[in-house]
Amino acid sequence: MSMDTVPAKLTPRLVAEVDEMVREGWYANRSELIRDAVREAVRRARAQRLEAAIKRDVEWGLRGKS
C-alpha cells in the first residue's frame, strides 16, 4: 500500500508517551500508533456527522416543508 508522509509536530511529552506505548508493545512503531489515532479520529468525526444528519432527518420528517 502506498503511503504519504505527513509532517506533524508533537510536544515532547506526547512523543514520550508514544514511545512508551511502542516500548510496551501496543504498536510496532510510532507510525503505526499515529495511523491508528488518525483512523480513530476520522471514525469518530464520521459518526458525529452521521448522528447530526439523522437528527436533521427527524426534524425534517416532523417539521420540514419539502
Partner 1 sequence: MGRVSAAVLDAGPLIHLGQIDGLETLRVVRKCVVTTEVVLELGRGFALPRTCAVRTLGPAARDFAAFLCSQDSLGLGEATSIALARQERIRLFFTDDLGAREAAARYGLEPHGTLALLARACREGVVSRTDALSLLESLHRRSSLFLTSELVDWARRQILAYSRG
- The residues that touch partner 1, with contacts defined as CB under 8 A, are 46, 49-51, 53-66
In the three-class reduction of DSSP (H, G, I as helix; E, B as strand; rest coil), residue 6 is classed as: coil
Cα 19 from Cα 8, distance rounded (Å): 16
Cα 3 from Cα 26, distance rounded (Å): 21
Cα 30 from Cα 36, distance rounded (Å): 10
Choice between 10 and 50, CB closer to partner 1 = 50
Choice between 19 and 57, CB closer to partner 1 = 57
CB of 3: closest distance to partner 1 in angstroms? 18
Choice between 23 and 65, CB closer to partner 1 = 65
CB of 5: closest distance to partner 1 in angstroms? 22
